[in-house]
A and B are shown apart, each in its own frame.
Chain A
Amino acid sequence: MAIANKGFRGRRTESARQLPPGQHLTTDFPVLQAGPTPHIDLDDWRFTIRDERGHQHVWTWAQLKLLPSDRLTVDIHCVTTWSKLDTKWEGVSLDTLFESVETTAEFALIGSYGGYTTNIPVVDLLGGKAWIVYGYQGEPLSPVHGGPARLLVPHLYFWKSAKWVRSIELRNSDTPGFWEGLGYHSYGDPWREQRYAGD
């Protein structure tokens, strides 16, 4: 039983562009987090791709910043129903990082500083669909929004765009991540409204 509070809108505005089902447009940038904000020294920062045989490819911050980067403008959709349009990011495409990785694995488990995890099929990380981003709106990505670097996978719900990203583990079987293991959808396509397991 939910009553409607007439006149209550929250911090939402009307959207001229169509949003995925059940989403609402926001003009601010809500900060959601499952744990304390990590503060990572750039000298200590590492990003690792570990393939299904256990071989590791590791990048330092300096190495990451030397790689060719993209500037991109995308819409983002959070499972808690807010959407934000035309967000501007700068970072390295996963296609660039995967150039040196040999794999036939189908599944990936993303890991973050602080312990957060999320699972994404490898095909959804490649082909111009995913980035490690370190810039937001022309500035270095702030810690509360996932800085120094986060994963960006805009075609899936934003819980998959892991903040404070540190690793991708390639696997032959799918392992649910932090939210996927507690009732959220394993894939998470906002346009098919795949919020919860079984949707």
Chain B
Amino acid sequence: MDDGSTSKLHWRVARVVDSEPETDSAQTIGLAVPGWRGHLAGQHIDLKLTAEDGYSAQRSYSLSRPADGERIELTVQQIADGEVSPYLTGVRPGEEIELRGPIGGWFVWRPAEEARILLVAGGSGIVPLMAMLRERVVLGGAEFRLVYSVRSPADVYYARELGQLERDCDWLRVAVVCTRAATPQTARPPGRIGASDLAVPGWTPDDAPRVYVCGPTGFVESVTTKLIGQGHRPSAIRTERFGPSG
């Protein structure tokens, strides 16, 4: 299986296979990439759109599913007034898009590593972490805890699947943290992720988990500072910062 660490990465043409709403404002898009040689959970692709007059824009998107032949999947958040997302969330099967990948050997999870994994997602930062969870379903491996920060419950991606995984699997617990609405089913009032949200019993620094944090830069850096303040070793924390998307 090619994990991108040895092959040259060049632009290639992929074909949209399907596109389904993930939430009211996010779309999950399936693409077929001829010759795709697989990827690791956590990796991403760079995507390039070119207008008919030659103007082009590039964005990076994490892969939301583990390797599956030539099929890859992305979840794209619609940003009002965005440059790229309004087009992407409207693509239809058969359309072609240029991309390169898979990219990245740092923010990846290989099932043979570590026994306990703490995942911390901010908004669309859940995408690469979901690929890790979906990989775990297929290949087995570690025990996971996911802390997932969103504005409100309606913004949760993969809500049904996460709920099902939690019910059916003993290796996953999910804590949704809402910043602008009360979290249903818990007593947690709205508010940004805090130290107490990150202090997961059994996943403390003493338990030496590997930690993955993904989301907007401000979120990632604030969470990482809190984790280090709690005693997690910096070398145990892997991060991926998204810019303002659009």
**Complex Cα–Cα for A6 and B16 (A):** 14
**Complex Cα–Cα for A8 and B50 (A):** 7
The residue in chain A whose Cβ has the minimal distance to the Cβ of B11 is: A1
Asked whether A2 and B98 contact (CB < 8 A) given A8-B49, A10-B83, the answer is: yes
B56 within 8 A of A: yes
The smallest C-beta distance from B63 to any residue of chain A, in angstroms, reads 20
Q: From the candidates A5, A10, A11, A24, name the one contacting B97 in the complex (CB within 8 A).
A: A5
User: Is B98 in contact with A10, judged by CB distance below 8 angstroms?
Assistant: no
Chain A residues with Cβ under 8 A from B54's Cβ?
A: 2
User: Is A24 in contact with B98, judged by CB distance below 8 angstroms?
Assistant: no
Contact with A along B69-108 (1 / 0, CB 8 A): 0000000000001011001001000011110000000000
Residues of A within 8 A of B (CB-CB), count: 15
User: Is A81 in contact with B52, judged by CB distance below 8 angstroms?
Assistant: no
Q: From the candidates A3, A6, A7, name the one contacting B13 in the complex (CB within 8 A).
A: A3
Q: A-side binding surface: helix, strand, loop or mixed? A: loop
User: Is B50 in contact with A12, judged by CB distance below 8 angstroms?
Assistant: no
Residues of B within 8 A of A (CB-CB), count: 21
The residue in chain A whose Cβ has the minimal distance to the Cβ of B57 is: A10
The smallest C-beta distance from A27 to any residue of chain B, in angstroms, reads 10
Asked whether A5 and B55 contact (CB < 8 A) given A10-B83, A11-B81, A11-B83, the answer is: no
Contact with B along A1-28 (1 / 0, CB 8 A): 1111111111110000000000010001
The smallest C-beta distance from B220 to any residue of chain A, in angstroms, reads 16
**Complex Cα–Cα for A5 and B99 (A):** 12
B51 within 8 A of A: yes
Known: A2-B98, A8-B49, A10-B83. 4 other contacts (CB 8 A): A5-B49, A8-B51, A9-B55, A10-B55
**A residues at B contact (CB < 8 Å):** 1-12, 24, 28, 81
**B residues at A contact (CB < 8 Å):** 11, 13, 48-57, 81, 83-84, 87, 90, 95-98
Q: List 14 A-B contacts (CB under 8 A).
A: A2-B48, A2-B54, A2-B56, A2-B98, A3-B13, A4-B52, A5-B50, A5-B96, A5-B97, A6-B52, A8-B87, A10-B51, A10-B84, A28-B81
